[in-house]
């Protein structure tokens, strides 16, 4: 299989919850029996179902026997519907940036001459659902600001 030099290998690490690891170039049989991997070997995390990886997707075995980016957790999280991430006649800001996964908070605001109907924020929960109905921006017929002229 591989010729391992002293100290030049990494112990196998566990995949994230609800995910697995893709070992490039190894058969299922080799994956079951291997305990250590050589320097420069890369593993890739994959998630089950409609979950996405948040954090490092690939880790590489370093000469010191550890994996890259171990300070950053890799997690497989459910995504919430993307339709909530846009708002007709309004703006949506997302925190943190990235795909809309568990824990993501969206903040809604409307353009001038529109009124926000619904909550001005929503959060993606552990079930992959937004915790409030989607807000909408409705035209304010009492708006006294600058009129937008038709071109």
150 touches 140 (CB < 8 A): no
Q: How far is CA 84 from CA 13, 30, 94, 96, 131, in A?
A: 36, 44, 10, 15, 11
Q: Does CATH number 2.10.70.10 belong to domain 82-139?
A: yes
Q: Are strands 136-139 and 114-117 parallel, antiparallel or unpaired?
A: antiparallel
In this structure, whether the domain defined by 11-78 belongs to CATH 3.20.20.70 is answered with: no
Q: Where are the domains of the chain?
A: 11-78, 82-139
Instruction: With H, G, I as helix, E, B as strand and everything else as coil, classify residue 130.
Output: strand
Per CATH, 11-78 and 82-139 having the same topology is answered yes
Phi/psi for 123 (5° steps) reads -125, 140
Percent composition of the chain: helix, strand, coil (DSSP 3-state, to 5): 5, 40, 55
Tens place of pLDDT per residue across the chain (151 aa):
444 444 579 999 999 999 999 998 888 898 888 889 999 999 999 999 889 999 999 999 999 999 999 999 999 999 999 999 999 999 999 999 888 999 999 999 999 999 999 999 999 999 999 999 999 999 998 877 765 554 4
């Amino acid at each position: 299989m591989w010729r391992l030099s002293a100290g030049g290998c990494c112990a196998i690490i566990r995949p994230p919850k609800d995910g697995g690891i893709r070992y490039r170039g190894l058969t299922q049989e080799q994956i079951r029996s291997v305990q250590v991997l050589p320097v420069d070997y890369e593993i890739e995390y994959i998630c089950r179902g409609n979950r996405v990886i948040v954090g490092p997707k690939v880790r590489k075995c370093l000469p010191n026997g550890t994996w890259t980016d171990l300070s950053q957790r890799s997690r497989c999280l459910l995504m919430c519907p993307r339709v909530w991430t846009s708002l007709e006649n309004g703006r949506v800001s997302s925190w943190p940036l990235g795909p809309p996964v568990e824990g993501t908070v969206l903040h809604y605001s409307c353009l001038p001459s529109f009124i926000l109907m619904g909550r001005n924020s929503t959060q993606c929960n552990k079930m992959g659902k937004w915790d409030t109905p989607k807000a909408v921006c409705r035209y304010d017929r009492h708006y006294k600001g600058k009129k937008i002229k038709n071109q």
